[in-house]
């Protein structure tokens, strides 16, 4: 027979369990009905933040629909790729209210989602809003700006956006639509690219900063500046050959620097895409765009890095986002098929932008000191 003490303990546990269940149910109800909400079904009724976001997305989609090969290749159509945009209180907030699921009706069940109508805009014909994507959206409660969600068997970029944060604030390269373009390229176009997956990685540790290295790097950056805006094939080829010789000298003496090519292949091409979009749409992204929205030169940035030893970590990886994009612009002139050749076989030749320049212009071999001196004299 149960004692009074045992009976009381069991009753207390029962009450505690009921309280926990009620608390969970109440919390879930608050989240679902308090935090969660769906936007209006009509585009005209969306709030200012959502209207601005879809206007920017429409501009990007139109550029891809009309001129895809001016951005990447005719085969890459960002305007038809799936995308998830998550309305949150801030771009790194844990609180989110709903998600737009775009261009995904062929890979996931949207029957329980709310269709958003954009009359007269065929570029946004497949847009749905939902409060949840089931277990796939649990990760959105973490304080992260973006992640990858798998819908069916397809990896999809899921990015947060928030009122007052669409333009990226002080850093225009971090504007939501611009950053989404960059990150979606990694997911949509680079799934099979393994440049950064080998044992050497894509970061240069203990970057050499002795006088010999910095002298060569300074010349290479001056050549990159001399390539800016240049479209004459003979001039681009001549300057690019000089760059190849200087880089060959750097890589021969410091072989660990070769992983720069991997960053240029992965991140440099994504920055190239951002810059090309900006070119076509009159956007703010140029060469080495700073937080004030102004473009810089490679030479000035390198001088800025050299002023403060703590900035030298930029030479380990970050600067090659930009050098890779600049090589892309040079390749557009001297080797227009480079975007195909960067693909792995059998589609391409698995060539980094640097390797594509060598394939197009010739291997400089091991330049002599006299040859290096001649090149440096051309870019004082």
User: Which strand ranges, in their side-by-side order, compose the sheet holding 83-88?
Assistant: 114-115, 127-130, 96-102, 83-88, 154-161, 146-151
269 alpha carbon, distance to own chain's centre = 9
Determine contact, residues 156/183, Cβ cutoff 8 Å: no
Determine contact, residues 333/236, Cβ cutoff 8 Å: yes
Determine contact, residues 240/330, Cβ cutoff 8 Å: yes
Helix/strand/coil for 115: strand
Q: Predicted confidence band at 35 (pLDDT cuts at 50, 70, 90)?
A: low
Six token digits for residue 346: 């059998």
Q: Predicted confidence band at 36 (pLDDT cuts at 50, 70, 90)?
A: confident
How many CB atoms sit inside 10 A of residue 31's CB? Answer: 14
The pLDDT score that the predictor gives to residue 348 is: 96
154: left (phi over 0), alpha (psi -120 to 50) or beta: beta
Per-residue model confidence as pLDDT tens digits over 134-188: 999 999 999 999 999 999 999 999 999 999 999 887 788 889 999 999 999 999 9
The pLDDT score that the predictor gives to residue 168 is: 82
Instruction: For Cα atoms 326, 192, 251, give the angle at the middle one, nearest 5 degrees.
Output: 45
Name which of 358, 142, 134 is nearest 237 in CA terms: 358
Per-residue model confidence as pLDDT tens digits over 72-101: 999 999 999 999 999 999 888 889 999 999
pTM beyond 0.75: yes
Which whole number is the average pLDDT over 304-321?
A: 95
């Amino acid at each position: 027979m149960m004692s009074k003490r045992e009976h009381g303990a069991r009753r207390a546990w029962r009450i505690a369990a009921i309280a926990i269940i009620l608390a969970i149910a109440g919390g879930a109800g608050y989240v679902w009905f308090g935090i969660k909400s769906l936007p209006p079904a009509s585009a005209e009724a969306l709030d200012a933040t959502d209207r601005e976001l879809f206007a920017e997305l429409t501009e990007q989609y139109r550029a891809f629909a009309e001129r895809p090969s001016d951005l990447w290749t005719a085969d890459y159509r960002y305007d038809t790729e799936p995308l998830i945009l998550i309305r949150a209180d801030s771009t790194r907030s844990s609180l989110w209210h709903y998600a737009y699921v775009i261009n995904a009706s062929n890979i996931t069940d949207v029957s329980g989602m709310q269709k958003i109508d954009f009359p007269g805009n065929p570029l946004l014909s497949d847009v749905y809003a939902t409060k949840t994507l089931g277990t796939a959206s649990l990760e959105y409660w973490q304080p992260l700006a973006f992640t990858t969600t798998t819908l069916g068997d397809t990896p999809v970029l899921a990015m947060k956006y928030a009122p007052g944060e669409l333009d990226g604030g002080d850093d225009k390269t971090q504007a939501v639509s611009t950053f989404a373009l960059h990150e979606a390229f990694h997911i949509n176009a680079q799934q099979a690219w393994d440049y950064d997956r080998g044992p050497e990685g894509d970061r240069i540790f203990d970057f050499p900063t002795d006088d010999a290295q910095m002298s060569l790097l300074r010349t290479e950056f001056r050549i990159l500046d001399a390539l800016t805006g240049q479209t004459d094939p003979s001039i681009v080829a001549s300057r690019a050959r000089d760059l190849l010789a200087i880089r060959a000298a750097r890589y021969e003496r410091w072989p660990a620097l070769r992983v720069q090519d991997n960053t240029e292949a992965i991140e440099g091409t994504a920055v190239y895409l951002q810059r090309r979009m900006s070119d076509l749409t009159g956007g703010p992204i140029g060469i080495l765009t700073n937080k004030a929205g102004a473009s810089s030169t490679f030479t000035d940035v390198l001088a800025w890095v050299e002023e403060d030893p703590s900035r030298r970590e930029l030479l380990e990886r970050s600067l090659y986002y930009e050098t890779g994009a600049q090589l892309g612009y040079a390749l557009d002139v001297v080797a227009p098929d480079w975007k195909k050749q960067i693909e792995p076989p059998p589609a391409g030749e698995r060539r980094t932008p640097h390797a594509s320049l060598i394939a197009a212009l010739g291997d400089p071999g091991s330049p002599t000191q006299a040859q290096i001196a001649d090149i440096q004299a051309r870019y004082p």
